[in-house]
Amino acid sequence: MRDKADERLDHLFAAVRAERIDTAALEEYFETRLLARIREQRSESIPWYALAWRMVPAFAVVAATIAITTFTFAPTHSNDLLAALNADQDEMVSSSYLIGE
């Protein structure tokens, strides 16, 4: 009994392996459908956060440029205490002259 079941199963598997599936209907206009799907995906608008992530390198370059120029062109500060106290005296004298005090 067991041998007949195995033989039937072997015959069924052999019949299935020999059967060729007709894929002509699926193959028809495949390129057209594929290109239409690609075109549809490309036409979707880019979300704002994707654009923000794409701009991160540009923002990093701007920030690095600002930092480099800040440290490069920073004026030297004097260690003289009297110079620090008299730094704004010229502006005060000129403003008082213009005001008339």
Is residue 40 in some structural domain? yes
Residue 60 near residue 54 (C-beta atoms within 8 A): no
**Span 31-54, average pLDDT:** 87
DSSP state, 44?
Answer: S
Is residue 95 in some structural domain? no
The pLDDT tens digits for 89-98 are: 666 667 777 7
Residues of the domain holding 28: 1-44
Decide: helix, strand or coil at residue 37.
helix
Residue 84 near residue 78 (C-beta atoms within 8 A): yes
Domain count, the chain: 1
Q: Judge whether residue 29 has pLDDT over 80.
A: yes
pTM of the predicted structure, to 2 decimals: 0.37
Residue 84: CB partners within 8 Å, gap ≥ 6?
A: 78
Q: How high does pLDDT run on average in the chain? A: 82
The pLDDT tens digits for 53-86 are: 899 999 999 999 999 998 888 777 666 666 666 6
Is residue 52 in some structural domain? no
